[in-house]
Chain A
Amino acid sequence: MAAEQNTDSLSVKALKDHTDRTEASPSGNRTSFRPRAASIISESGSVASGGPNVKGDLRKMTTQKMVMTGLRKMSIVAKDVLTKRRMSKPAIQLQYENTYKMHPDDGTKFASYRVEEAVRGELEKHLEDMKYDPTKTARLTKQICDKILDKVKDLNFPRYKFVVHVTMGQNGNQGMVEASRCIWDDKTDNYACITYKNASLFAIACIYGMYFE
Chain B
Amino acid sequence: MALTTVLVSVEGVIGGNAYQHNKVNQWTSNVVEQCLNQLTKLGKPFKYIVTCVIMQKNGAGLHTASSCFWDNTTDGSCTVRWENKTMYCIVSVFGLAI
Flag A176-191 by CB within 8 Å of B: 1 or 0 each.
1111111111000100
CB distance from A197 to the nearest CB of B (A): 13
B1 within 8 Å of A (CB atoms): no
How many angstroms between the C-alpha atoms of A208 and B43 in the bound complex?
A: 22
With CB as the reference atom, state the residue of chain A lying closest to B94: A163
Q: Which residues of B contact A174 (CB under 8 A)?
A: 55-58, 60
Flag A128-151 by CB within 8 Å of B: 1 or 0 each.
000010100110011011101100
A173 within 8 Å of B (CB atoms): yes
Are A179 and B28 closer than 8 Å at their CB atoms? yes
Are A184 and B52 closer than 8 Å at their CB atoms? no
Q: Which residues of B contact A167 (CB under 8 A)?
A: 53, 62-64
A170 within 8 Å of B (CB atoms): yes
- The residues in B between 48 and 74 inclusive whose CB is less than 8 angstroms from any CB of A are 48-71
CB distance from B43 to the nearest CB of A (A): 12
Once A174-B60, A175-B56, A210-B96 are accepted as A-B contacts, the answer to whether A180 and B51 lie under 8 Å apart by CB is yes
Q: Which residues of B contact A181 (CB under 8 A)?
A: 29, 32-33, 36, 49-50
Q: Which residues of A contact B51 (CB under 8 A)?
A: 165, 178-180, 206
Once A170-B61, A175-B56 are accepted as A-B contacts, the answer to whether A165 and B28 lie under 8 Å apart by CB is no
Flag A145-174 by CB within 8 Å of B: 1 or 0 each.
110110011000000011111111111111
B binding-site residues for A, Cβ under 8 Å: 19, 21, 24-25, 27-29, 31-33, 36, 39-40, 47-71, 75, 77, 92, 94, 96, 98
Task: Give the A-B pair count, Cβ closer than 8 A.
Answer: 138
Are B62 and A169 closer than 8 Å at their CB atoms? yes
Give 9 pairs: A residue, B residue, CB < 8 Å, sorted on A: A141-B63, A161-B70, A164-B67, A165-B65, A167-B62, A176-B56, A177-B24, A181-B33, A210-B96
Are A180 and B65 closer than 8 Å at their CB atoms? no
A57 within 8 Å of B (CB atoms): no
Q: Which residues of A contact B52 (CB under 8 A)?
A: 178-180
Are A149 and B70 closer than 8 Å at their CB atoms? no
Once A161-B75, A163-B49 are accepted as A-B contacts, the answer to whether A145 and B67 lie under 8 Å apart by CB is yes
Are A182 and B56 closer than 8 Å at their CB atoms? no
With CB as the reference atom, state the residue of chain A lying closest to B77: A163
CB distance from B44 to the nearest CB of A (A): 11
